[in-house]
Amino acid sequence: MNKNHLIILLIFIVATIAYGCTGGGYQDRQWEYSMARHTSLLSPYLKTVSDASRSGDFKTLVTYGQYIADDTQKAIDENNQFKVSPKLQEAQKEWGLAIQDYNSAGKLMVKAGNEALANIDAVADINQSSEYLKTGNNHYNRANQVCLSIHG
């Protein structure tokens, strides 16, 4: 076997191993890890803004609303980079919709908190951010159900 044949065989073996490890080029595990990681980052923020909104702590609402907006933007960018298998495409789509809604809610929280701190009526923005959180939660729950149905 000459050197060129050996190199071609080695490339073929490496490509076959890489293909097998990624499940046909899909990034299912990496995407699921990303979703879980971002969920664990966002969960305490969402609780904090809920508490801040109820107590009228608008400085905290602004701060954590910005955290939500920033972190969901990172999650959106990351989500769009993964190629998942057909069985997870619905979950990826729902997760994308959830983080987009959370992103919109975060931005509105910042706006509403700043308005409230300036003694401007912020009720409409707070109500709209609550709606985004509800629809975001619905999308997240659907994404989670798809993942659970796959993994049992």
Burial 117-152 (b: 16+ CB within 10 A, else e): eeeeebeebbebbeebbebbeebbebbbebbeeeee
Is residue 62 assigned to a domain? yes
Is residue 14 assigned to a domain? no
Q: Name which of 90, 102, 84 is nearest 142 in CA terms.
A: 90
**Band of residue 151 on the pLDDT scale cut at 50, 70, 90:** confident
Is residue 127 assigned to a domain? yes
Is residue 9 assigned to a domain? no
Q: Tell me how many domains the chain contains.
A: 1
**pLDDT at 10 exceeding the cut of 60:** no
Is residue 98 assigned to a domain? yes
Lowest mean pLDDT among 9-13, 114-118, 139-143: 9-13
**pLDDT at 139 exceeding the cut of 60:** yes
Q: Name which of 50, 68, 58 is nearest 118 in CA terms.
A: 58
Is residue 12 assigned to a domain? no
Instruction: Answer with the residue of higher pLDDT: 140 or 8.
Output: 140
pLDDT recorded at residue 57: 96
Domain of 43 in residue numbering reads as: 27-151
**pLDDT at 7 exceeding the cut of 90:** no
Is residue 100 assigned to a domain? yes
Q: Name which of 135, 65, 50, 138 is nearest 101 in CA terms.
A: 135
pLDDT recorded at residue 6: 44
Contacts for 46 with CB less than 8 Å, ≥ 6 apart: 68, 102, 133
Average pLDDT, the chain: 88
Task: List pLDDT tens digits, range 36-94.
Answer: 999 999 999 999 999 999 999 999 999 999 999 999 999 999 999 999 999 999 999 99
Average pLDDT (30-41) is 95
Is residue 57 assigned to a domain? yes
